[in-house]
Amino acid sequence: MAVKIAPSILAADFLNLKDELKKLEENKADMIHFDVMDGTFVPNMSFANPILKQVKSATSIPIDVHLMIDRPHRYVEEFAKDADYLGFHYEAGSNVTETLKKIRECGAKTCLTIKPCTKAEQIFEFLPLCDMVLVMSVEPGFGGQSFMPDSLEKVKALRKEIDDKGYNTLIEIDGGINSETAPLATQAGVDVLVAGSYLFGDKMRERIEHLKSL
């Protein structure tokens, strides 16, 4: 299966967001990665649901919503209305099983995310309920951080477990993805690459094409 590309809209030019979304469609991005931060679970704040609704209305690209918020179960119903994939953190203080089930009941696909401090094995039991798992290769909350090589061992462990058990679960990675780190991630077993500043700009087309070729 060809690797999927999920540009992180956090790196887009928000004064020209509609044009940026059009460029992503023209350059065949597979998903749009949409980060939601509350200033509590992570030390930063970002988009809320009103912006998600506007993005959803302006593009046909599936939207991958990444909730970096405390007790995410409180907001599942609201965000699931406009998310194709709705993900939350294992470490965020919600009952994981119940939250995954609630996301599916609301009509979105599920994604469970782990921070760099969390071992892959800690989420093995939840894989049957996950359409996708997201491995953070930087500390969540800020863009522009350097890729953490240790994340690749988590990807390999998840890849083996998913393949051995026959699950239909995608593996996504987010943080420090560029021309040097993307091949390492795909070789380890990643299905979906999230990238921000590396993709937005004058070289979007050639960089998306390069990542898709891995």
35 catalytic per annotation: yes
Of the residues 30, 35, 82, 131, only one is catalytic, namely 35
Residue 198, CB half-sphere, CA atoms under 13 Å: how many?
Answer: 25
How far apart CA 13 and CA 65 sit, in angstroms, is 19
> How many residues are given for the chain?
214
Q: Are 15 and 47 in contact (CB under 8 A)?
A: no
The H-or-E segment that residue 32 falls in is strand 32-37
**Paired residues of 159 in beta bridges:** none
Structure-block tokens of residue 192: 């979906």
Q: Are 25 and 61 in contact (CB under 8 A)?
A: yes
CB neighbours of residue 27 within 10 Å: 17
How far apart CA 144 and CA 161 sit, in angstroms, is 30
131 catalytic per annotation: no
Of the residues 30, 64, 131, 174, only one is catalytic, namely 174
Q: Known catalytic residues? A: 35, 174
